[in-house]
C-alpha cells in the first residue's frame, strides 16, 4: 500500500493525524507544481490519487486527532489572537469538542501552496443548566503562519 492509499484509508476511516495532513499537503503541492509546469517535489503521487483524496475529504470530513488537535486548541485559545474573534467565536473556541479536516485551499500567486481548512466543532451551549452532549459546527478556519507570509488563524467561508 503506497502513502496516498494510506492517507485515503485514514480519511475514510474517519480520523487523520498530523502525518496524514503533512503527506496530503505535500502531494497536493507536488501536483500543483506539475500543473504549473514546474519540477515536482519528489512525491510519488498522481493526479488521480490526489483527486481521490480531495473527494474523500469532501465526503467524509475526518476528525483531526492527536498532536494536531491539541495544537489547534492552543492556537485558537492563544492570547495573541484573542482580539480577532467575535463574541460567538470566543464562546465556540472555549467549548471546542473537535476539529474536522474540510479541504485544502490553494494559496500563492500560482496556487502552488496548499493550506488545510479545519472545521471547529463546539459542544452545544448550555440550555439552562442542561447540556445535551452533542456538538455543532461553529466555523471554519485555516492557519497561515507569519513565517509563511500569513497572519495566523483566519476564518474562511464554508464550501458546502
The predicted-structure confidence for 44-99, as pLDDT tens digits, reads as follows: 899 999 999 999 999 999 999 999 999 999 999 999 999 999 998 999 999 999 99
Domain definitions of the chain by residue range = 3-156
Q: Is the pLDDT of residue 147 over 90?
A: no
For residue 77, with 0-12 CB atoms within 10 Å meaning exposed, 13-18 middle and 19 or more buried, which class applies? middle
> Partners of 99 in the beta sheet?
120
Distance CA(54)–CA(103), nearest Å, equals 7
The predicted-structure confidence for 5-35, as pLDDT tens digits, reads as follows: 999 999 999 999 999 999 999 999 999 988 8
Cell numbers that stand for 136 in this block: 455543532
This prediction's pTM:
0.88
> Which pLDDT band, with edges at 50, 70 and 90, does 125 fall under?
low
Sign for the CA dihedral angle at 51, 52, 57, 58 comes to: positive
Q: Is the pLDDT of residue 159 over 50?
A: no
Q: What pLDDT, on the 0 to 100 scale, is given for residue 73?
A: 96
Cell numbers that stand for 78 in this block: 492563544
Amino acid at each position: 500500500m503506497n502513502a496516498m492509499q494510506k492517507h485515503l484509508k485514514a480519511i475514510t476511516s474517519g480520523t487523520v493525524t498530523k502525518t496524514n495532513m503533512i503527506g496530503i499537503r505535500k502531494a497536493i503541492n507536488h501536483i500543483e507544481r506539475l500543473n504549473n509546469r514546474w519540477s515536482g517535489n519528489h512525491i510519488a503521487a498522481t493526479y488521480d490519487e490526489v483527486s481521490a483524496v480531495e473527494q474523500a475529504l469532501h465526503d467524509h470530513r475526518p476528525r483531526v486527532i492527536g498532536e494536531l488537535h491539541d495544537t489547534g486548541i492552543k492556537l485558537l485559545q492563544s492570547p495573541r489572537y484573542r482580539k480577532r474573534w467575535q463574541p460567538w467565536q470566543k464562546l465556540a473556541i472555549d467549548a471546542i469538542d473537535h476539529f474536522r479536516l474540510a479541504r485544502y485551499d490553494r494559496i500563492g500567486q500560482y496556487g502552488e501552496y496548499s493550506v488545510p481548512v479545519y472545521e471547529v466543532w463546539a459542544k452545544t451551549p448550555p440550555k439552562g443548566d442542561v447540556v445535551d452532549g452533542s456538538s455543532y459546527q461553529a466555523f471554519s478556519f485555516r492557519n497561515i503562519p507569519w513565517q509563511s507570509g500569513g497572519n495566523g488563524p483566519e476564518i474562511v467561508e464554508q464550501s458546502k
